[in-house]
Amino acid sequence: MDARDLHTPVMLERCVELLAPALQKPGAVLIDGTLGMGGHSEALLERFPDLHLIGLDRDQDALGIAGRRLERFADRTTLVHTVYDGVDAALREAGVDRVDGILYDLGVSSLQLDVAERGFAYSQDAPLDMRMDQSIGMTAADVVGAYGEGDLRRIFERYGEEKLAGRYARAIIAARAEAPIERSGQLVQILSDATPAAVQRAGHPAKRVFQALRIEVNGELAALERAIPAAMGALAVGGRIVVLSYQSLEDRLVKRAFARASASTAPAGLPVELPEHAPRFRLLVKGAELASEEERARNSRAIPVRLRAAERVREAR
């Protein structure tokens, strides 16, 4: 199946609109830090004929699909197999010092959700993998099979904001004493059996636990904490960054990073703000923007999205 049929880019026109002022100049460079299947990047390469793309992704399947999708732009693309915090290494590989635009479309991709064998979706039975890069690292089965009750509870609370974290951790420990938990269907059944009926009516009992396991397996929040400052540091003056987040933990990290960069560092009580204290960035949207009602009705993956954007206005001193 064509990548265009598998994936509808979220808030595509708004991303293009926000990045456009920085990408219209000759020789502009854009980092797509979460290339996925290349939907956003394809649109940007089409609309800005002098744009050079540096596309990052840890998922080798996604890089292969995106490479084929962007093949007609091969002379203007550099694709790099790396986690999205690998900005500095990717710039070195591309021979670039500064960039004019950066896009992050965070969370799990359509490819990872829609291919059942990857184990990301609680609605489909599959091996409990959840690795975005299947060549390295522990799987979700490793986590539920080896972590103690306290560690399971911690990640469910921290990364899933799950109120029944303790109950679910105990249920997993009890179940794995009887048999290894190796498939998503097994885990969903364990969680369902441990969930009070009243809570089940409020939403799928596995949703937050699967999110927490995915974040733990892929180290997503730690990578994001490194990625956003590194990306902002790579922007030239006038450069812009757009970030799409899909859950509150991601959005909070982005919000804090943008708030720090767009605030004055002048000490309290200083009568005049010195140039070195002026904000390095300005915010391009007020708060976090949501997808339109029309887009949310058309594309369910746009329902939880939160968009934030900023522009670099001066160099650090």
105 annotated to bind ligand: yes
40 annotated to bind ligand: yes
84 annotated to bind ligand: yes
SS3 content of the chain, % helix, strand, coil (to 5): 50, 15, 35
Fold identical between 3-105+220-312 and 116-218? no
**Angular region, 25: left φ>0, alpha ψ -120 to 50, beta rest:** beta
Distance CA 12, CA 119 (A): 27
- The two tokens of residue 205 are 């009992």
Domain boundaries, the chain: 3-105+220-312, 116-218
Q: What is the CATH number of domain 116-218?
A: 1.10.150.170
pLDDT tens string, the chain, 317 residues long: the values are: 455 555 689 999 999 999 999 999 999 999 999 999 999 999 999 999 999 999 999 988 889 999 999 999 999 999 999 998 999 989 988 889 899 999 999 977 665 566 666 777 788 889 999 998 888 889 999 999 999 999 999 999 999 999 999 999 999 999 999 999 999 999 999 999 999 887 877 778 888 999 999 999 999 999 999 999 999 999 999 999 999 999 999 999 999 999 999 987 666 666 666 666 688 999 999 999 999 999 999 998 899 999 999 999 988 76
148 annotated to bind ligand: no
CATH class of 3-105+220-312: alpha beta
104 annotated to bind ligand: no
Residues 149 and 173 sit within 8 Å (Cβ to Cβ): yes
Distance CA 111, CA 101 (A): 25
